[in-house]
Amino acid sequence: HPGRIPIISVTGTNGKTTTTRLIAHIMHMSGKKVGYTTTDGIYIQNRLLYKGDCSGPDSARFVLRDPTVDYAVFETARGGMMRAGLGYDLSDVGVVTNVASDHLGLYGIHTLEQLTRLKSLVAENIQPLGYAVLNADDDYVYSMQENVSCNTAFFSMNAGNPRIKKHCASGGTAAVYEEGNIILRKGDWSMLVDRVINIPLTYFGKAAFQVQNVLAACLAAFIQEVKVEEIRLGLQTFAPSSAQLPGRMNIFEFEKFKVLIDYAHNPSSMEAMGRFVSSLGMGVSTAILAGTGDRRDKDLHDYGRVAAEYFDRIIVWEDQDYARGRDSMKVMQLIQEGVSSSSKNTRVLSILDEDDAVDHALQEAVPEAIICIFTGRIEAMTAKIKSLREKELDLIIAREDIPNISPELRM
């Protein structure tokens, strides 16, 4: 026996964690014993074995050493590749979600072209019979096909994408979004996976960036010979909840308003979240955010500017834990300058502590408002919001409300 198990590796600027978790869920639902790694931790058959940022090679090797695992899915981040490589020799599928401006200026990576070259390692280190799953809408990702020595499969939000048409005309495999549907294509035939309105992760199709993640995950599973029925079941049973996808588009319903917790930490992810929040048709929107120290001044400035384009109110707080050797007050200042540079008249407020910022936003919340907390303290902030929501609901079930209860027990 060769002793190898199938490996799917996922990289990109945004969407890595979501795509990794969704692929792992689909594989689990198809009967595989899955081990997977993310920026949240190491999971073996959905059991968290190690908490923390585990998107590097050491975490991959941890999963591959576990004898109970017969399928591995890895989130493969930039930092781990730069420091110590991939953690495996060759994968069976390499997924690249997108390439956008983030972490530039670190480890000699200063341009998007250089970042593309780095992330292309995932697409290039695949077994000859394996597949590189690439985003055909992203020029940087699409260009990676030039250096791969395996098969390629593409996904696109545009069913009429000429790159997809050309690829399928030559017998290739693809996944596309078409008129509210997730469609798989191979050669000249097409197959419906499901309507996005039935997929909880897409929030009735309003979260376009999540639809893109769904396309990538479906395609990765399909080329690994997972049945379409099993892919559909996986999509329908995976939700952006704090249990299945912590810190990624988690929405909590209060009596008069909504609270959203997300990890959006760069301009492109902020724009995606801003578009999503705008599509919800809520009233006053508030964003609570901070910057990460290992970003260029321009990136921090753009982060604030983009947030100002979509939110009515912005609260900037001082994140000393993620200052990473930089003056945290300077980081705040750059974000505020970005907010002020927007043509939209967005109200901006500075509150040094994140918990105080959240408390302030909740106290000022008006009916139909939405408060978006963009944070790296996902676990702590989720626990805080859950506790506040439980206090608001104060659920009490009276004895007379219990079905079929004996008359003498109603006393």
Q: Does residue 268 share a domain with residue 231?
A: no
Residue 189 neighbours by CB distance under 10 Å? 8
Alpha helix (H) ranges present in 73-182? 78-84, 112-124, 139-142, 162-169
8-state DSSP, 106: B
365-377 pLDDT, tens digit each: 999 999 999 998 8
Overall domain count for the chain: 2
Buried b (16+ CB within 10 A) or exposed e, 113-137: eebbbbbbbbbebbbeebbbbbbbb
8-state DSSP, 54: -
Residue 402 confidence (pLDDT):
72
What gap in Å lies between CA 337 and CA 255, rounded to an integer?
A: 34
Which residues constitute the domain of residue 372?
250-393
Handedness of CA 331, 334, 340, 344 (dihedral sign): negative
Q: Does residue 262 share a domain with residue 232?
A: no
148-170 pLDDT, tens digit each: 999 999 999 999 999 999 999 99
20 within some domain:
yes
CATH number at residue 376: 3.90.190.20
Spatial CA neighbour of 215 closest among 229, 194, 233, 230: 194
Alpha helix (H) ranges present in 125-197? 139-142, 162-169
Banded pLDDT at 89 (limits 50, 70, 90): very high
121 within some domain:
yes
409 within some domain:
no
Residue 397 confidence (pLDDT):
64
173-183 pLDDT, tens digit each: 999 999 999 99
Residue 398 pLDDT > 80: no
211 within some domain:
yes
Q: Does residue 278 share a domain with residue 185?
A: no
What gap in Å lies between CA 296 and CA 372, rounded to an integer?
A: 24
167 within some domain:
yes
Average pLDDT of the chain? Answer: 90
Q: Does residue 192 share a domain with residue 69?
A: yes
Tokens representing 398 are 């009276």
H or E stretch covering 373: strand 370-374
Residue 27 pLDDT > 80: yes
Contact 261, 252 (CB under 8 A): yes
What gap in Å lies between CA 54 and CA 38, rounded to an integer?
A: 5
Q: How far apart are the first and last CA of the chain?
A: 68
Q: Does residue 307 share a domain with residue 229?
A: no
CATH number at residue 72: 3.40.1190.10
76 within some domain:
yes
Least confident of 29-38, 211-220, 221-230, 390-399: 390-399
Q: Does residue 107 share a domain with residue 30?
A: yes
Tokens representing 168 are 């399928």
What gap in Å lies between CA 286 and CA 226, rounded to an integer?
A: 41
* Beta-bridge mates of residue 72: 7, 35
What's the alpha-carbon Rg for the chain, to the nearest Å?
22
* Beta-bridge mates of residue 189: 186
Q: Which of 212, 236, 260 is the last residue of a domain?
A: 236
What gap in Å lies between CA 50 and CA 58, rounded to an integer?
A: 12
Give, in degrees to the nearest 5, the angle at Cα 95 between 89 and 99: 110
Rounded-to-10 torsion of CA 124, 140, 26, 248: 130
Alpha helix (H) ranges present in 249-377? 267-279, 297-310, 328-341, 354-364
- Helix, strand or coil, per DSSP, at residue 387: helix
54-69 pLDDT, tens digit each: 888 999 999 999 999 9
Residue type at position 240 = P
8-state DSSP, 109: B
What gap in Å lies between CA 395 and CA 63, rounded to an integer?
A: 42
What gap in Å lies between CA 262 and CA 260, rounded to an integer?
A: 7
Alpha helix (H) ranges present in 182-326? 208-222, 228-236, 267-279, 297-310
Tokens representing 351 are 């509150």
Q: What is the mean pLDDT of residues 253-271?
A: 92
Q: Does residue 368 share a domain with residue 255?
A: yes
Q: Does residue 86 share a domain with residue 150?
A: yes
401 within some domain:
no
Give the position of tokens 């978006």.
372
Q: How many helices (H) and strands (E) does the chain have?
A: 13, 17
407 within some domain:
no
Contact 115, 78 (CB under 8 A): yes
Q: Does residue 206 share a domain with residue 145?
A: yes
Buried b (16+ CB within 10 A) or exposed e, 226-256: beeeebbbbbeebebebebbbbbbbbbebee
Spatial CA neighbour of 192 closest among 204, 175, 211: 175
Q: Does residue 135 share a domain with residue 37?
A: yes
Q: Does residue 257 share a domain with residue 323?
A: yes
Q: Does residue 280 share a domain with residue 227?
A: no
H or E stretch covering 62: helix 57-64
Tokens representing 388 are 């506040």
335-348 pLDDT, tens digit each: 888 888 888 888 88
